[in-house]
Amino acid sequence: MSLAAQMQERLKGILPELLGIQLVEVTEDKVVAKLTVRPDLCTTGAILHGGAIMAFADTLGAIGTVVNLPQGAGTATIESKTNFIGGAAKGSVVTGEATPVHKGKTTQVWQTRITNVDGKLVALVTQTQIVLPPKKI
């Protein structure tokens, strides 16, 4: 089973599955996914809601961190900044591509580019993930 398929399985029953995030590629240095802009993810103006964009990007950065964690470690987002650049219309598909800016022992920083079907930038998201050490029993 590919790493993307393994991570997709881990998304079952939680928010990313509800959003409809479909992982395309997962490596230690890149996470790519698609998201269909459904009506229930839109603003009243029939464009993808900013909160949905942020949740999409947060998921991709978290996945990138998870595949780089030491055995038994966990992660949580401790900071996220989103620049909204353009829109994505209802019925279209957006692509998210997350790449690492920094992969340290205590934090990782990921940047996610969300683009529309024309390849135009919808949002640029930079997030910091804390690396949580394995729990001692």
pLDDT tens digit string along 56-78?
A: 999 999 999 999 999 999 999 99
Q: How far is CA 18 from CA 2, 56, 119, 125, in A?
A: 22, 11, 25, 21
Higher per-residue confidence, 137 vs 71: 71
Count CA atoms closer than 13 A to 86's CA, side-chain side: 13
For residues 112-126, give the mean pLDDT. 97
For residues 23-41, give the mean pLDDT. 98
Amino acid 135: pLDDT: 82
Give the pLDDT band of residue 3 (cuts 50, 70, 90): very high
Domains of the chain (ranges, CATH numbers): 3-132 (3.10.129.10)
pLDDT at 137 over 80: no
Count CA atoms closer than 13 A to 13's CA, side-chain side: 2
Positive or negative: CA dihedral 107, 120, 38, 96: negative
